[in-house]
Amino acid sequence: MNTALESLKFNNNQLTSLDVAMNTALIWLECWGNQLASIATIAALADKWHLRGVDVRNNKLDCGDWEDVKILQARLGEPVFKTVSGVTYLYSGFAYSPQKGLDPYNCETGIDNWAKYESIK
C-alpha cells in the first residue's frame, strides 16, 4: 500500500489479479499485457480516485467484465495516445482491447462468452 503513489505501470507480466484499493492517489494505471481476469476494483473506485488514464489492453477479461469496462469508459473517455521521442504512451482515457480474441462490443449483443463467439464466427 502506498497512498501517495500516483503512477503504477506493470506491463507484460503474468499478473492474474490486482488490488490497488488502498492506492487512492493513483492518476495513471497501466497493466496491459497481463493475465488479469477482473477490473472490478478499478471500476468500483474510479469515481473516488483522480484517474486520468487506465490501460488494460491484452488481458483475460471477458463479457463478465463489460459493465466495469463501460463504467471506466464513461468516467475516463476514449484513450488518447501520444508519442514522444519514439515512445508511445497513454496520455489520457481508458484503453481496452479485445480480450481473449473476443471483441468487447459483442457483449452488447448478447454474445457473452468465448464459446458463443467462436460458434458464430
What is the reported pLDDT for 111? 57
Give the 3-state secondary structure of residue 14.
Answer: coil
CA 76/CA 93 separation, integer angstroms: 5
DSSP bridge partners of 54: 29, 94
Q: What are the domain boundaries of the chain? A: 7-120
What is the reported pLDDT for 110? 61
What is the reported pLDDT for 60? 87
This prediction has a pTM of 0.81
**pLDDT per position as a tens digit, 43-75:** 988 888 889 999 999 898 877 888 898 899 999
**pLDDT per position as a tens digit, 70-101:** 899 999 999 999 999 998 889 999 998 866 66
Count of Cβ atoms closer than 10 Å to residue 82 Cβ:
10
What average pLDDT is seen over the chain? Answer: 83
